[in-house]
Amino acid sequence: MKDFSVLEKKLGLKFNNKDLLTEAFIHRSYLNENPKFHLSHNERLEFLGDAVLELVVTKYLYLNYKKPEGELTSWRAALVNAQSLSQTAKELNFNEYLLLSRGEAKDTGKARQFILANTLEAFIGALYLDGGYKAAQDFIETCLLKKLPEIIEKKLFYDPKSRFQEEAQERARITPIYKVLKERGPDHAKHFIIGVYLNEELVAEGEGSSKQIAEEDAAMRALRIKGWG
């Protein structure tokens, strides 16, 4: 079993209910291999943590920035999207504490990003239950809201498709085009691979469970490949 006391010490936290802390890191796949484990997976905590996170961030933005609703919504989305949350979880070394199946433990790609993002939300849910709103608020402000100035300065609140289109039109005077390259799976669980093109040039491929997610992934990869932010 993982030694969560090391994580508590690093974060300057002390959970009264240690089971809540452990449960925040239990992925569903772990219980498939350990069906007699005494705790549940973290999806209910994730559900709660998602709501707490949105409330804390929304309240902070409302109190500190006299901006229109649309702008605040874009900033909030940039703070709480899967990429931002997974990056924060990595910075906090959450990877070391995940309880996963052997198969999931070997996969460190795109799937791990979503697992880390979900785990961070579950952790926030556990912290809220264990220490109350103030404990969750302090954690979110310390670990996540500190990134807001950079998001605003670098305009990272634009979604990847908008950013790539703006850069492509400004730098190359071309509007990007997205094309489905492959799709697989049944209707209720489709998986798409989509390419983003500048004229005939395939700049990058993205993938996801919907065309929108795959297009955003392609745009994000294209921004990195082109060095456009």
What is the structure's pLDDT at 27? 95
| 147 in the same domain as 164 | no
| 171 in the same domain as 142 | no
**Token digits of residue 4:** 């969560």
**Token digits of residue 110:** 């795109």
Alpha-carbon span 99 to 80, nearest angstrom: 23
Q: Is the pLDDT reported for residue 97 higher than 80?
A: yes
What is the structure's pLDDT at 119? 97
CB 47, CB 122: distance < 8 Å:
no
| 167 in the same domain as 139 | no
Please report how many Cα atoms fall inside a 13 Å half-sphere around the Cα of residue 86, on the Cβ side: 12
Q: Which alpha helices (H) appear in the chain, and where do they start and end? A: 4-11, 18-23, 28-33, 43-64, 69-80, 82-91, 102-106, 110-131, 133-143, 148-153, 160-171, 211-226
Q: Can you give the CATH number for the domain in which 207 is found? A: 3.30.160.20
| 134 in the same domain as 184 | no
What is the structure's pLDDT at 105? 85
Q: Which of 23, 50, 104, 159 is catalytic?
A: 50
Domain count, the chain: 2
Highest mean pLDDT among 41-45, 80-84, 163-167: 41-45
**Token digits of residue 19:** 């089971």
Q: Is the dihedral of CA 213, 40, 52, 88 positive or negative?
A: negative
| 127 in the same domain as 111 | yes
Chain-centre distance for alpha carbon 221: 16
> Catalytic annotation on 121?
yes
Alpha-carbon span 35 to 4, nearest angstrom: 21
| 123 in the same domain as 173 | no
* Domain stops at, among 153, 185, 217: 153
Q: Is 0.85 topped by the overall pTM? A: no
What is the structure's pLDDT at 70? 82
Q: What is the mean pLDDT of the chain?
A: 91
Q: Which of 46, 104, 121, 217 is catalytic?
A: 121
* Domain stops at, among 153, 181, 201: 153
Q: Is the pLDDT reported for residue 108 higher than 90?
A: no
What is the structure's pLDDT at 229? 65
| 204 in the same domain as 100 | no
Q: Can you give the CATH number for the domain in which 59 is found? A: 1.10.1520.10
> Catalytic annotation on 50?
yes
Q: Is the dihedral of CA 109, 111, 114, 119 positive or negative?
A: negative
Cross-strand pairs, 178: 196
94 is in which domain, residue-wise? 4-153
| 164 in the same domain as 62 | no
Closest CA to 39 of 59, 53, 22: 22
- The mean per-residue pLDDT over the stretch 142-156 comes to 87
| 175 in the same domain as 132 | no
Amino acid identity for residue 206 in this structure? G
Please report how many Cα atoms fall inside a 13 Å half-sphere around the Cα of residue 126, on the Cβ side: 25
- The mean per-residue pLDDT over the stretch 201-225 comes to 90
| 77 in the same domain as 25 | yes
Closest CA to 45 of 120, 115, 103: 120
| 215 in the same domain as 178 | yes
* Domain stops at, among 105, 132, 153: 153
| 180 in the same domain as 111 | no
